[in-house]
C-alpha cells in the first residue's frame, strides 16, 4: 500500500467510512517484523506491553498508533495500553489479533435461508481463547458501508471497533477481548449513502429497561430442573389432554403502582399458587419480548430474543418458567412474526435499506398499526423468525407459541382498500410467501420439538389452518375459534327476552366446530377499548349479570375445544382491563365474584376428571345434539359421550330467567342420571333451583331417543347430568 493510499484509508477510518477497516488494523509482515496500527480515538498516548516490556509506537497520527514487533513474538499476548486525557490508563488485548470465525456450514445455511439456530452465532456470545476471553459480536447488514460495535467500553465512539465483513457475505463480526456479561452496546452502521445509524442487536439476549434502548451482553448460567415435565411433554398428545389456559399480561396482573412492575420472582410466588387454586394447567403470556411502548401490551416487539427487562433479567424469566413446569403448568408465549414497530433503533431500515421489511409500501406497512411488515420471502428474515421461535422453545422451554395476527400475513389485502395492495403472481390476494413461511415454521418446530404446539390467531375462514401440510394445510396444531367467541358474546349480550330471535347465533358454531382443531378464547381483545368486561357485557340486574357469566362459562366448558380465559374473567371483574393497573392486588371481590370463581373451578375439575371430554374436543363422533330447536324458550341441549366406555354427560342450557319445570328431553340411557353440576347452585350465588341431585329416565320416546327425563331447569342456568355404567 503506497503512502497516499494509506493516508486516505486512515482518513476514512477516522471518519468511520472505511469498508475494509479490519484489514487495515490487522498485522502485516514486513521482513522480520510485524507491524500493526491501533485506532484509539480517546487516547492521549499509547504503548504496548509484551513480556513485561514496554514498546512505544513507531508513529502517532491523530489517534492512530503504529507499532512494530519481531515476527516471532506471540501477538495475542500483547496488551494495548493507552491513557486518556484525564490520566486514566486502560490495558486490553487487541481485537484485531483475533480474526472473527464463522463456520462454513453456518455461513452457508444462513445465506441459503435454512439457518434455524442462527441465534447461536449471530448476536453477542462469550468466547474463550487461551490468552483471554471476551465477546464475539456478529450482525447481518449487507447494505452497510461499515459497521462498528459501540458501548461504554469505547465511549460510544462510532468506528472505535470496526467489524469485518466475512467473505463479503454481509455478515459483520468482531471479537472484543476483556469484556463479559452486562455490557451495554449497539451497532453503529454507516449506510451506503453516508447516514450514520445506531441500532440495537436483532439477536440480543438482553436489553436495557425502557426508555433506554441498548442491547446487553448476557452470559447464561441458568440450571433447569424441569426434566420430568420435558420428558412428559415429549410423549404427550395434546389433542386428547385437557387444556385450560389462563391468558395473562405480566405487567398488569400483579402491580403495586403505575410505575413499578413486579419482578419475575414476585410473579412466580403469587402466580403459581393462584393457577393451581383455580385449576388452570396452562398459562399464556402476552408478548414478553422486549417492546418500547407499554400501551402495545407487548405486541410491537423490537427485541425478539430478549424477555422484557420490566420484570428483571432473562434468568428470572427462566426461573419462572422452570417453577411453572415443576408445578405441572405449561407455558405458551404470544409471538408476533407479522409486524414490528418503526422505532429508529429497531429492525426497520436496519442498514439503510429495507432489510427486514417489504420494500414495497403496499406490502411493507401495516395500516392498522402503523408498523413495518416482515418480508417473509427473504432468506435472512426466515432465518431470523424461525430461529426465534426455536429459541423460545429450546432456550426458555416454552411449550407452545400463539402466533398473533396470522390473517394479516395470509392476505395481501388485509385492511387495505382497492389500490392499496397488489395481487400475487396468480392474481389472487393470498400471500404465497406467508403460506410457505408458516409451513416451514410448523414443519421445523414439530420435527425438532415433539410435544410443542403452535396456535394460530386466524380470524377468517382460511381453510386448513390446522390441517397437515401434506394435505395442503398450514400445519398449525390449534386455531383460536374467533367465530365462536364473537357469536357467543353477542348472544349473551342480548336481553333474554330477545334471545329466542337469535338461537342460530349460539348454535351456529357447532356446525363447524370440528372443521379445525379449535381453542375457545375469551381473550384480552374482548375486554378493552370500551368493549367492557365479561361482566359488563351481560344484560340485567346484578344477579342476572353474574348468572349469565356462570352460564357463559358453563357453555364454554361444555363446547368441544380447548379452553382459554383472560385474567380477571375468572371472577368476573367488574371493569374492563386497564394495562396500567394491577389486577390481583387491586381487585375488589364480593360473594357473587367468589361464586363465579367456584363455578370455574368446578367446571375445570369436571373437564379434568372426565377425560373423554378432552378426548372429544376435536372428535365430532363424541358429540350429539339432543335439541337445538326450542327457540321460544331459548333452551338447547346436547350430549358429550365417551367412545371408549358407556359414559355420558348431558348438558342443558336455559338462557332465560324463567324457571322451566317438567321440561322433557331425550337421553341415551335409562335409569338414574346424576346432576353433577348446576350453575344456579346457591354455592355459586344462584337461587338453588334444581333436581335434588338426580333424575330417573323413563321409557318414553323423545328427541329420537327411546328414553327421556323430566327436569326442572333453573333460571339462566346450566345443568350437567351424568350417566355411567
CA dist 25 and 21 (Å) reads: 6
Query: What range defines the domain where residue 113 resides?
Result: 104-216
Residues 67, 139, single domain; the answer is no
Residue 500, SS3?
A: helix
Q: Where in the sequence numbering do the catalytic residues fall?
A: 404, 457
Residue 59 domain-assigned?
A: yes
pLDDT given at position 1: 64
Domain match, 62 and 125 both: no
Specify the 3-state DSSP secondary structure of 237.
coil
Q: What is the pTM of this model?
A: 0.95
- pLDDT of 3 above 90: no
| Bridge partner list, 430 | 411
Residue 470 falls inside a structural domain: no
**Residue where one domain finishes, among candidates 216, 238, 273:** 216
* 109 and 155 assigned to the same domain: yes
Per-residue pLDDT reduced to its tens digit, 157-191:
999 999 999 999 999 999 999 998 899 999 999 99
Let me know whether 114 and 155 are in one domain: yes
Alpha-carbon gap, residue 304 to 202, rounded angstroms: 7
**Is the domain of 22 the same as that of 108?**
no
Whether 50 and 110 share a structural domain: no
Burial 613-641 (b: 16+ CB within 10 A, else e): bbbbbbeeebbeebbbebeebbbbbbbbb
Quick one: 115 and 39 in the same domain? no
Whether 712 maps to a domain, the answer reads: yes
**In the prediction, which pLDDT does 101 show?**
82
Residue 183 to residue 125: CA distance in whole angstroms: 12
Do 142 and 91 lie in one domain? The reply is no
When divided into structural domains, the chain yields a total of: 3
**What CATH number is attached to the domain comprising 62?**
2.60.40.10
Cβ neighbours of 426 (radius 10 Å): 7
What is the structure's pLDDT at 694?
96
- Is residue 719 within 8 Å of residue 690, measured between CB atoms? yes
Mean pLDDT of all residues belonging to the chain:
95
The answer to whether the CB of 571 falls within 8 A of the CB of 553 is no
Q: Are residues 109 and 92 in the same domain?
A: no
CB 655 within 8 A of CB 540: no
Query: β-strand 671-678 against 562-566: which pairing, if any?
Result: unpaired
Beta bridge partners of 711: 663
Question: Is residue 534 situated within a structural domain?
Answer: no
| Domain presence at residue 66 | yes
Residue 435 lies in a domain: no
Q: How large is the average pLDDT for residues 615-637?
A: 97
Rounded distance between C-alpha atoms, residue 63 and residue 148, angstroms = 17
Per the domain annotation, does 166 fall within a domain? yes
**Do 65 and 120 share a domain, yes or no?**
no
Transcribe 74-143 into DSSP letters.
-GGG-EEEEE-TTS-EEEEE-GGGS-----HHHHHHHHHT--TTGGGTSEEEEEE-SS-EEEEEEEE-TT
pLDDT one-digit tens code per residue, 571-598: 999 999 999 888 887 777 899 999 999 9
pLDDT tens readout for residues 12-53: 999 999 999 998 999 888 888 999 999 999 899 999 998 889
Specify if 12 maps to a domain: yes
Phi-psi category of residue 433: left, alpha or beta, with phi > 0 → left and psi -120 to 50 → alpha:
alpha
88 with 163, same domain? no
Tell me the pLDDT tens digit for each residue of 357-398. Answer: 999 999 999 999 999 999 999 999 999 999 999 999 999 999
- The reply to whether 131 and 44 lie within a common domain is no
CATH code at 663?
A: 2.60.40.1180
Domain boundary among 71, 97, 123: 97
Secondary element (H or E) of residue 506: helix 503-507
Helix axes 542-558, 591-609, angle to 10 degrees: 10
Of the candidates 97, 126, 155, which is a domain's last residue? 97
Question: What pLDDT score was predicted for residue 265?
Answer: 96
**Percentage of the residues of the chain whose pLDDT score is greater than 90:** 89
What are the residues whose beta carbons fall under 8 Å from the beta carbon of 230, sequence distance 6 or more? 325, 397
Rg (CA), the chain: 31
Amino acid at each position: 500500500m503506497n503512502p497516499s493510499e494509506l493516508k486516505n484509508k486512515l482518513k476514512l477510518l477516522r471518519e468511520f467510512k472505511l469498508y475494509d477497516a479490519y484489514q487495515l488494523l490487522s498485522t502485516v509482515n514486513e521482513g522480520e517484523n510485524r507491524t500493526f496500527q491501533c485506532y484509539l480515538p480517546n487516547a492521549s498516548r499509547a504503548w504496548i506491553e509484551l513480556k513485561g516490556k514496554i514498546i512505544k509506537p513507531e508513529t502517532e497520527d491523530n489517534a492512530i498508533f503504529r507499532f512494530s514487533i519481531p515476527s516471532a513474538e506471540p501477538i495475542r499476548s500483547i496488551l494495548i495500553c493507552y491513557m486518556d486525557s484525564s490520566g486514566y490508563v486502560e490495558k486490553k488485548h487487541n481485537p484485531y489479533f483475533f480474526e472473527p470465525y464463522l463456520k462454513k456450514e453456518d455461513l452457508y445455511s444462513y445465506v441459503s435461508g435454512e439457518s434455524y439456530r442462527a441465534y447461536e452465532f449471530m448476536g453477542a456470545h462469550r468466547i474463550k481463547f487461551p490468552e483471554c476471553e471476551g465477546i464475539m459480536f456478529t450482525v447481518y447488514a449487507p447494505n452497510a458501508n461499515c459497521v462498528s460495535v459501540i458501548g461504554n467500553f469505547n465511549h460510544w465512539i462510532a468506528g472505535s471497533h470496526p467489524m469485518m465483513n466475512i467473505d463479503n457475505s454481509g455478515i459483520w463480526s468482531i471479537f472484543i477481548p476483556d469484556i463479559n456479561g452486562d455490557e451495554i452496546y449497539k451497532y453503529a452502521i454507516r449506510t451506503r449513502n453516508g447516514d450514520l445509524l445506531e441500532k440495537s442487536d436483532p439477536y440480543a439476549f438482553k436489553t436495557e429497561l425502557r426508555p433506554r434502548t441498548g442491547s446487553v451482553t448476557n452470559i447464561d448460567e441458568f440450571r433447569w430442573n424441569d426434566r420430568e415435565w420435558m420428558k412428559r411433554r415429549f410423549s404427550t398428545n395434546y389433542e386428547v389432554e385437557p387444556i385450560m389456559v389462563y391468558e395473562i399480561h405480566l405487567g398488569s396482573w400483579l402491580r403495586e403502582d403505575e410505575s413499578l412492575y413486579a419482578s419475575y420472582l414476585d410473579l412466580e410466588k403469587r402466580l403459581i399458587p393462584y393457577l393451581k387454586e383455580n385449576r388452570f394447567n396452562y398459562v399464556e403470556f402476552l408478548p414478553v419480548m422486549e417492546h418500547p411502548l407499554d400501551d402495545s401490551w407487548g405486541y410491537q416487539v423490537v427485541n425478539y430474543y430478549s424477555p422484557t427487562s420490566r420484570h428483571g433479567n432473562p434468568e428470572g424469566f427462566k426461573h419462572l418458567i422452570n417453577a411453572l413446569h415443576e408445578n405441572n403448568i405449561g407455558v405458551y408465549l404470544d409471538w408476533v412474526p407479522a409486524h414490528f414497530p418503526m422505532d429508529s433503533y429497531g429492525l426497520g431500515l436496519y442498514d439503510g435499506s429495507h432489510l427486514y421489511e417489504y420494500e414495497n409500501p403496499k406490502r411493507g406497512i401495516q395500516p392498522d398499526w402503523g408498523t413495518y411488515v416482515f418480508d417473509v420471502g427473504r432468506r435472512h428474515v426466515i432465518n431470523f423468525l424461525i430461529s426465534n421461535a426455536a429459541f423460545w422453545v429450546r432456550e426458555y422451554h416454552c411449550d407452545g407459541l400463539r402466533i398473533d395476527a396470522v390473517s394479516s400475513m395470509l392476505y395481501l389485502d388485509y385492511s387495505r382498500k382497492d389500490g392499496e395492495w397488489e395481487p400475487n403472481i396468480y392474481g389472487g390476494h393470498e400471500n404465497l410467501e406467508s403460506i410457505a413461511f408458516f409451513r416451514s415454521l410448523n414443519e421445523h418446530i414439530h420435527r425438532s420439538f415433539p410435544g410443542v404446539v403452535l396456535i394460530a390467531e386466524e380470524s377468517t375462514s382460511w381453510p386448513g389452518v390446522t390441517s397437515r401440510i401434506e394435505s395442503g394445510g398450514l400445519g398449525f396444531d390449534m386455531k383460536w375459534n374467533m367465530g365462536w367467541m364473537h357469536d357467543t358474546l353477542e348472544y349473551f349480550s342480548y336481553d333474554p327476552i330477545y334471545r329466542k330471535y337469535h338461537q342460530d347465533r349460539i348454535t351456529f358454531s357447532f356446525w363447524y366446530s370440528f372443521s379445525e382443531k379449535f381453542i375457545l378464547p375469551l381473550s384480552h381483545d374482548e375486554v378493552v377499548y370500551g368493549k367492557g368486561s365479561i361482566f359488563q357485557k351481560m344484560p340485567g340486574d346484578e344477579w342476572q349479570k353474574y348468572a349469565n357469566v356462570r352460564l357463559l362459562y358453563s357453555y364454554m366448558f361444555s363446547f368441544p375445544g380447548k379452553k382459554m380465559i383472560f385474567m380477571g374473567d375468572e371472577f368476573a371483574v367488574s371493569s374492563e382491563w386497564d394495562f396500567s393497573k394491577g389486577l390481583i392486588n387491586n381487585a375488589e371481590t364480593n360473594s357473587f365474584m367468589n361464586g363465579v370463581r367456584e363455578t370455574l373451578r368446578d367446571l375445570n375439575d369436571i373437564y379434568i376428571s372426565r377425560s373423554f371430554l378432552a378426548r372429544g374436543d376435536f372428535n365430532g363422533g363424541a358429540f350429539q345434539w339432543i335439541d337445538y330447536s326450542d327457540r321460544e324458550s331459548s333452551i338447547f341441549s346436547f350430549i358429550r359421550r365417551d367412545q371408549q366406555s358407556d359414559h355420558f354427560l348431558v348438558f342443558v342450557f336455559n338462557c332465560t330467567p324463567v324457571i322451566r319445570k317438567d321440561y322433557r328431553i331425550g337421553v341415551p340411557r335409562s335409569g338414574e342420571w346424576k346432576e353433577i353440576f348446576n350453575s344456579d347452585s346457591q354455592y355459586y350465588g344462584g337461587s338453588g333451583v334444581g333436581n335434588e341431585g338426580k333424575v330417573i329416565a323413563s321409557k318414553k320416546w323423545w328427541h329420537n331417543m327411546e328414553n327421556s327425563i323430566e327436569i326442572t331447569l333453573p333460571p339462566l342456568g346450566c345443568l350437567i347430568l351424568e350417566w355411567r355404567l
